[in-house]
Amino acid sequence: MEGFDAKQQSHDQLLGQAGDTSTTTSLNTANTASKGTVAPDAALEQALNQALPADEHEHAPPTNTNPAFHIALDQVASPRNLDSKKVQQDANLRDNIGTRGDYLNPRGGTNTVIASGDSDVIRGTGRGFNTITTGTGKDTIILGKETTNRIFDFDPANDRFALAGINPKNIVIAQGKNPGKGGLAQPLDSVNNTLIIDKRSGHILASLTFTKATDLTENHFVKLTPEANASLKGLKEEGFKTQRGNGQLTGTQGRDRLIGGDGDDFLYVGDDGVKFNPATGKGGTEFPFATDSSGTTELNLNLQKGVLKVSGNYQGFDGLPLFSQGETTIDPKARILSGADPKALVDGFLKVPKDVEGNLLSGTHLHFSPAGDSRGNFADATVVRFFENTPTDAKSGKITGEFELKPEEQAALLAGNLYVNLHTNIDGDGDGRAGFPTGENRINLNRNVVQFV
């Protein structure tokens, strides 16, 4: 765990639920409406739409008017403009799709998109809110006015943005300043996120989780042309399998063209597009409070039809799993590495006896944040799910979990943005060591574990 503060974690925050306005206090409610468009931009947008196939025209009125999707530039860190002279035009989007890549267009609504292991084009212009996991490859995300795209795994080494109907001179790149957490419900302007903002309206076009704004340059942007849109008209004739409609659209191992409807949709690469390596943890790599425990953990994951099954074991631990003995206090021999008040630590957990699915409280938790790969280390105390842990002796045991993940939770998992934290307590073998209530092992389900195929 990472310094659980019972005074700051409400029941809703611990369960990762929305509705805590304290996590969006830096958002500017005065900038809820667009300031309008200038004629050249409107003409370009019309030309872009005319270049699209008839079933993909983006004529929906703006639905993204929540003040949380807008922000004032004085509420972000280090805002900077693009040098429009350095932003090149793109005349052929088809060339950006790999030999097994997909074209994904969620359109309007509140959507989740999980792309493939090849290079994909994702159209984020439907004037709704999209949660996106790009997968691997050199991916292109198209940004459009009054649309917000939360991107869980943007890779500055490979991915880029295409601007549709937006002049590059109106683009601002900044780092979030909001310290609020809350699992997947963290504010878009989190300190861990890079924001791409349309300065005319203050609209957040994209929020890149766990990304540094300094990593983005003009090379990460191109200006979309009508010719680029027109290049996508022949995908069906090229053999792309087309699906369109509401709800979940699941892709194939080949090339797909998935187009959402007007509601809330889930565009998904498919269970056969991803595999998992074993996830391991040990005390010396526990973040942010490394332990001197010799204990280790190994977990195996499987995701099928939205159900995540996890099984594994832990060995050589200093203490028994927290709450596995029905205790309500901390063993005085346990080590509190975070400096937290032990009573507040336990009392805070006891206030949340079940997770959102009804899984009973345990000392093994699923959290939201990556660590141990190229992105750096992050931590969020918000509990996403509780696992079941069963001691087999004083130092070892089994871990199991079966969870029905919402589409955005699947996106977080496949982006490598989840981790498991195993808290311990109680000296079971009488050796004078009673574990680490703040976490003896952290097991990162990161990009080294999640593999797109």
pLDDT tens across 3-54, in order? 333 333 332 332 233 223 233 333 333 333 333 344 566 676 667 666 776 6
Q: What percent of the chain has pLDDT over 70?
A: 86
Q: Where are the alpha helices (DSSP H) in 264-420?
A: 342-350, 407-414
pLDDT at residue 63, as a whole number:
66
pLDDT at residue 327, as a whole number:
94
pLDDT at residue 405, as a whole number:
98
pLDDT at residue 62, as a whole number:
63
pLDDT tens for 91-121 read: 999 999 999 999 999 999 999 999 999 999 9
Q: Is 222 exposed, middle or buried (0-12, 13-18, 19+ CB in 10 A)?
A: buried
Give the pair of three-digit tokens for residue 153: 């795994």
pLDDT band at 343 (very low <50, low <70, confident <90, very high): confident
Calculate ∠ Cα 156-421-329, nearest 5°. 150
Give the pair of three-digit tokens for residue 215: 């990593």
Calculate ∠ Cα 413-415-417, nearest 5°. 65
Calculate ∠ Cα 397-401-405, nearest 5°. 160
pLDDT above 50 for 385: yes
* Mean pLDDT over each residue of the chain, to the nearest integer: 88
Distance CA(370)–CA(391), nearest Å, equals 27
Distance CA(355)–CA(437), nearest Å, equals 19
Give the pair of three-digit tokens for residue 152: 């869980």
User: 326 Cβ partners below 8 Å, 6+ apart?
Assistant: none
pLDDT band at 156 (very low <50, low <70, confident <90, very high): very high
Query: What residue type is assigned to position 395 of the chain?
Result: K
Question: Distance from CA of residue 264 to its chain's centroid?
Answer: 18
pLDDT at residue 4, as a whole number:
30
pLDDT at residue 193, as a whole number:
98
DSSP secondary structure letters along 319-339: SEETTTT---S--TTS--TT-
The mean pLDDT of 156-162, rounded to a whole number, is: 98
Longest CA–CA span in the chain (Å) reads 77
pLDDT tens for 287-305 read: 888 999 999 999 999 999 9
Distance CA(437)–CA(427), nearest Å, equals 12
Q: List residues bridging with 73 in a β-sheet.
A: none
Distance CA(45)–CA(143), nearest Å, equals 12
Distance CA(306)–CA(449), nearest Å, equals 18
pLDDT at residue 42, as a whole number:
67
pLDDT tens for 352-368 read: 899 999 999 999 999 99
Give the pair of three-digit tokens for residue 334: 């346990």
The sign of the CA dihedral 257, 261, 267, 272 is negative
The residue ranking higher by pLDDT, 81 or 43, is: 81
pLDDT above 50 for 223: yes
* Matching residue, tokens 């944040």: 369
pLDDT at residue 10, as a whole number:
32
